[in-house]
Structure 1
Amino acid sequence: MSVSFIRPPRLKPGARVAALSLSSGFVTEVMARYQAGVRQCAKEFGWEVVPTPNALRGPDFLYENPQARADDLHWALENPDVHGLVSIIGGDDSVRVLPHLELETIRRHPKAFLGYSDSTVTLLLLQFLRAGVMAYHGPALLTDLAESGGMNPFVVEGVRRALINDPEPFDLMPAPEWTELHQPWTPELQDTRRSHQPGEGWTWLQGTEPAEGHLIGGCAEVLDMLNGTPGWPDPEVWRGAVMVLETSEDVPPPAQVGYWLRNYAAQGILQGLSGLLLARPRGYTMGQKHDLYTWVKRVLKEAGREDLPVVANMDLGHTSPQLTLPLGGLTRLDPLAGRVTVTA
């Protein structure tokens, strides 16, 4: 491992966790859903979830004021009464917040942050990993944490192991069930559980030898927005890493994912990886999933990485339930044993 990361304090029961709208201010249109997330976090984790000063000011205000979104992040980090941070929801323009963020503030006040999707830009990659602080790729407040009918036990266990329990190695496991069913976030349906289908397990695309590296990655579409900006991670952050990639409800074609991977190969990123974790792609048919796997293996062969361990169809990102991954955490892939273990 060529880089190391500070592990922020655990979010034990009783922790006060700030809820941030770092991208979309959509939350004000679904406040009953927000309150469900607050209640369920208190029930399952013992957290007191509180909004940052601008988090509930609505989509128009937050769109027009990226500085206010950055101010909320700095407020949550500098406030001694706040112990951790959670993203309320994603969006598509966190990249506009970049010029307003203060890296030194994050270095001085390392705190756990939980989120995914557009959070890849402002926190999971740009600020936390560049600042040398571990971050947590996992559910947002309005998604799995406010899940209709109550939090899925798979989500509860994942958050507890990554963020709450005392640190110790743990195996990642496939979810026994999953869903991508859209169900309106209305008060009438908050107690109605979505229908799920049986989990089909992971797919090991290639690799035979065990490998280990620190986790880094996030939403592929958001990484594409970040690529080439001052926030793109330095080469040494990628070196020896296990890359995590998931795709959003935009449903990018398999070829597009292949093109993004070719970009990483052109930068030398693929050549230096220790492993690759691919999420179950949201909205894909079985044929599209097959095409995706073909593209991944094709690009890795082009890059001379037919040896790279690759696990696909993992429960990450935009399908539910999802794992919580400590970005920056050391992780071991054992293809022959079919195990993925977060070791540190």
Structure 2
Amino acid sequence: MFVRPPLLKEGDTVAALSLSSGFVTEVLHRYEAGRRQARAELGWNIIPAPNALRGPEYLYRNPQARADDLHWALENPDIHGLLSMIGGDDSVRLLPLLNLETIRRHPKVFLGFSDSTVTLMQFLRAGVMAYHGPALLTDLAEFGGMHPFAVQGIRQATMSAAAFHFQQAPEWTQAHQEWQQPDLQEVKRPFERSDGWTWLQGDVPAQGHLMGGCLEVLDMLNGTPGWPEPVLWQGALLCLETSEDVPPPAQVGYWLRNFAAQGLLQSAAGLVLARPRGYTPDMVAELYGWVKKVLWEAGREAMPVLANVDFGHISPQLTLPLGAVGRLDRGAGVFEVVGG
């Protein structure tokens, strides 16, 4: 159903794109750390797209320059992959400027999360797999070096075979550390032991292509011409996460009710929820209650639901190949990709 882009390999040149915020120019030491660490751990040669380092004010006022960078990276034969610099909040402004035919004719790995959800969905609309995972300024520029779990996740999704098991992170963090202090770049953040995945419901294994992203961004995209057509949602494993804005559990429930009103929950094969950033234990319990409530309302009380998975706005995070066929099996404790 979706074209799998050519796998990346060590020595490849990957373009870093500022498709949303141009914040990178305020933390150039972190940008260089990300490039250096990516070369050491992944073997990638990361270069900036022509407009990627022109600053937040210029990029805010010139969405065409951002779209031009995407098209340049796709059409340039010397560029093998595309990497989001960082998220933001206005990639939706690029929708009238993006050429799906260019994406379709030049399938390449595009890796990003958060506001990059807009662009990830456009790759899927063009029939090309896209990769929900670390950005250059986040996990690739992790304080004190890339986390081995993030490295493994990127490698297995973008550089290895089409089938693999997702692993549970042994540790995780949401600890804040100031990006704009260069002297902290080599100081590792504190991590805590992971409590693992949580299976909320559903005992029958389910299989479908991976779809989804950041719920707040999907909400901005909903109702625009960039919203994926209904057929793209049918039979999907929905992979959904929330941002550092920490939306209340009830708000997540309302978004899921919107999905139900569109028939997306009724046609989905299963649901995968990320570890929610900034949630207290009580908020997590309330969130899970809302999820089960809305699925009951939609007649999907038997849908398999896996929660507390390591992707999205926490570290380290997995890389999800959106468009690839995934499988959930509660009995075997498995979340896996079975093919492209």
TM-score range, shorter chain: over 0.9
The Cα shift of 1:318 comes to: 0.3
Provide the secondary structure at the position in 1 that maps to 2:282: helix
Aligned to 1:57: 54
Separation in structure 2 between the aligned mates of residue 124 and residue 244 of structure 1, nearest angstrom: 13
SS at match of 1:265: helix
Given candidates 6, 11, 16, the residue that maps to 1:14 is 11
* Structure 1 position 209, deviation (Å): 0.2
Unmatched 5+ residue regions in structure 2?
A: none
Give the drift of 1:173: 1.4
Match of 2:279 among 266, 279, 284: 284
Match of 1:169 in 2: 163
Q: Deviations over 1:172-195 (max 9, x none)?
A: 111000000010112101111000
- Pair 1:184-2:184 in alignment: no
**Aligned-partner residue type, residue 124 of structure 1:** L
Work out the number of aligned pairs and report it.
338
Deviations along 1:220-240, one digit per CA (max 9) or x if unpaired, are 000000000001111110000
Could you tell me which residue of structure 1 aligns to residue 260 of structure 2?
265
User: Gaps spanning 5+ residues in structure 1: where?
Assistant: none
Find the counterpart in structure 1 of residue 120 from structure 2: 124
Query: Shift of the alpha carbon at 1:158?
Result: 0.6
TM-score, normalised to structure 1, is: 0.98
Q: Does 1:227 align with 2:226?
A: no
Q: Which of 36, 61, 66 does residue 63 from structure 2 map onto?
A: 66
- Cα deviations by residue, 1:263-319 (Å, 9 ceiling, x for unpaired): 000000000000100001000000000000000000000000011100000101001
Match of 2:332 in 1: 337
Give CA-to-partner distance per residue, 1:139-192, whole Å, 9 cap, x none: 000000100010000001111100112x24211111000000010112101111
Q: Is 2:152 aligned against 1:157? A: yes
Q: Which amino acid aligns with 2:163?
A: P
State the match for 2:131 in structure 1: 136
Deviation at 1:337, TM superposition (A): 1.4
Q: Secondary structure at the match of 1:343?
A: strand
Decide which of 94, 99, 105 is 2:102's aligned counterpart.
Answer: 105
Letter in 2 for 1:81: D
* 2:104 alignment partner AA: R
What's the counterpart of residue 5 of structure 1? 2
Letter in 2 for 1:207: G
* 2: CA distance, partners of 1:26 / 1:9: 30
Which of these residues, 12, 21, 24, is aligned with residue 21 of structure 2?
A: 24
Deviations 1:122-146 (A, max 9, x none): x211x20000000000000000010
Q: Does 1:314 align with 2:303?
A: no
1:172 partner amino acid: F
Deviation beyond 3 Å, 4+ runs, structure 1: none
Q: Does 1:83 align with 2:80?
A: yes
Give the corresponding residue for 1:218.
213
What is the rounded CA distance, in whole Å, between the counterparts of 1:112 and 1:298 in structure 2? 37
With structure 2 as the length reference, what TM-score do the two structures score? 0.99
SS of 1:224's equivalent? helix
**What is the letter of the counterpart of residue 48 of structure 1?**
N
Aligned residue number for residue 231 of structure 2: 236
Question: Matches of 2:102 and 2:163 in 1, distance apart?
Answer: 30
The separation in 1 between residues aligned to 2:171 and 2:281, in whole angstroms, is 17
Measured after TM superposition, the shift of residue 255 of structure 1 is 0.1
SS at match of 1:195: coil
Relative to 1, partners in 2 of residues 1:177 and 1:287: Cα closer, same or farther, differing over 3 Å? Answer: same
SS of corresponding position for 1:18: strand
Instruction: Give yes or no for the alignment of 1:195 onto 2:190.
Output: yes
Q: Which amino acid aligns with 1:82?
A: I
- Equivalent-residue separation in structure 2 for 1:6 and 1:102 (angstroms): 17
User: Shift of residue 253 of structure 1?
Assistant: 0.1
Q: Which amino acid aligns with 1:178?
A: W
Q: Identity across aligned pairs (percent)? A: 69
